[in-house]
Amino acid sequence: MKHSLTSIALGALLFSQSVLAGLYSAKDNVVDLNQSNFQSEVMDSDHVVMVEFYAPWCGHCKNLVPQYKAAAENLRGIAKLGAIDCDNDMNKPLCSQYGIQGFPTIKVFPPSKSGKKGVKYPQDYQGERTAAAIAKHVVKMLPNDIQLVSSNPSSEKITNIDEFAANESTPRALLFTDKTESSAMYKGLATGLKGRMSVGEMRKPSEEVKKKYNITKLPSLVTFPKGSQIVDQAQFDQECLNKPRGSCVIAFLVVEPEFEESVKMHEHNLDILRQVKKAAFEANKPQHFMWMNALDSNVKALRDQFQISDDVPGLLLIHPTKKAFVPFIGRFDVEGIKEWLSDTSTGRARAFAYKFDVVLEGRSKDTKAEDRAQDQRQG
């Protein structure tokens, strides 16, 4: 194929412009920043973000590239390094906003101390332009979003390990370590999971604690899934009543965090439910497991709707689409619950129809009496 001199010259020009379009490529661990993504990638990020303001023609900028790439790779998962081309017309207003007059200019955007999203106050980086110096500086500025836990907390900033394990409002990760300081990698993990998972650390755990949580070596990371505790009607609708298929297995439990024995018993009961849930999942049975606080007045009203006993721990199976329920009869242990569920699925355990709307809020005696009369007529 023949090319004219004009097409060759045009191609060379386009190639030259593509090279000068930026100093970093998609394969680098350096975020390509611009006017449109600066807010989300830098200002809204919970991470420490280092930003290089550069121009593609700048010799010092080109010399910095291998060191900046290496620092970004060393800080992968710990902090974020980005770069913005100030020679790009689209980015010039942003570079002007931060008073950029020479290249490269490096600024660090640490998270806001107030915790306010989108608010950061940049600091100029004046250190050496080497990968080691850059990484060291960024690590010093890492936020610490790790929750320290202990068997015997010495301050309000430290959480009791049993309370941390029992708090199922969010998924949790707990690192057992023999170190006395948190690593940069774990700090980065905690920041990255902020708002989605509670990240804890227990230093130098006792033999008793290691035995309780099956820790055979240090460091060890243990995760605790979010528990399906139903606390309001909206969650109840989502997790149970509005499911298109399957039944809901509701456990009525009591936990009082201020009492160690109550926390231990609660964890024991939840472990029983986890094992039964796992068995149901492996058997491909459409059963949704959850628990409610038996001391909650709304939960008491719910149990009153179905006229089941106040014994705890207790269970109730509801089939929302069939408008049927089965009260629990048996032992509250893995085998006892599995046997009850087996009897329920085969019809050996009697199911009762209900006509009322299942709610967590209290209902009047007249309404409940009418429901019972209706059920008796249906029976």
N- to C-terminal Cα separation, the chain: 88
Indicate whether 270 and 374 sit together in one domain. Answer: yes
Indicate whether 154 and 97 sit together in one domain. Answer: no
Indicate whether 241 and 218 sit together in one domain. Answer: no
Indicate whether 207 and 245 sit together in one domain. Answer: no
Q: In the structure, what pLDDT confidence band is assigned to residue 227 with cuts at 50, 70 and 90?
A: low
Indicate whether 87 and 182 sit together in one domain. Answer: no
- Residue pLDDT, tens place only, 86-122: 999 999 999 999 999 999 999 999 998 777 788 999 9
Find the DSSP H helices in the chain: 5-20, 38, 59-74, 92-97, 131-140, 161-166, 184-192, 207-212, 233-236, 260-282, 297-305, 334-346, 365-378
Give the CATH number, domain containing residue 21. Answer: 3.40.30.10
Question: Are residues 71 and 5 in contact, defined by beta-carbon separation less than 8 angstroms?
Answer: no
Beta bridge mates, 289: 249
290: pLDDT strictly greater than 50: yes
**Cis peptide leading into 313, omega within 30 of 0?**
yes
3: pLDDT strictly greater than 60: no
Indicate whether 345 and 330 sit together in one domain. Answer: yes
Q: In the structure, what pLDDT confidence band is assigned to residue 360 with cuts at 50, 70 and 90?
A: confident
Indicate whether 153 and 134 sit together in one domain. Answer: no
Q: Which residues constitute the domain of residue 191? A: 147-224
128: pLDDT strictly greater than 80: yes
- From 90, 122, 140, the end of a domain falls on 140
- From 140, 159, 176, the end of a domain falls on 140
9: pLDDT strictly greater than 60: no
20: pLDDT strictly greater than 60: no
Pair of tokens at residue 372: 């019972």
Beta bridge mates, 325: 318, 352
Indicate whether 272 and 297 sit together in one domain. Answer: yes
Q: Which helix (H) or strand (E) holds 173?
A: strand 172-177
Indicate whether 242 and 340 sit together in one domain. Answer: yes
Neighbour tally for 203: CB within 10 Å: 16
Question: Are residues 188 and 144 in contact, defined by beta-carbon separation less than 8 angstroms?
Answer: no
Looking at every residue in the chain, the average pLDDT score rounds to 86
Beta bridge mates, 223: 173
Long-range Cβ contact pairs of 108-113 (< 8 A, separation 24 or more): 108/48, 108/49, 108/50, 108/51, 108/137, 108/138, 108/141, 109/42, 109/43, 109/48, 109/49, 109/50, 109/51, 110/48, 110/141, 110/143, 111/45, 111/46, 111/47, 111/48, 111/143, 111/191
Split into its structural domains, the chain has a count of 3
User: What pLDDT, on the 0 to 100 scale, is given for residue 6?
Assistant: 34
3-state helix, strand, coil in the chain (%, to 5): 40, 20, 40
Indicate whether 337 and 270 sit together in one domain. Answer: yes
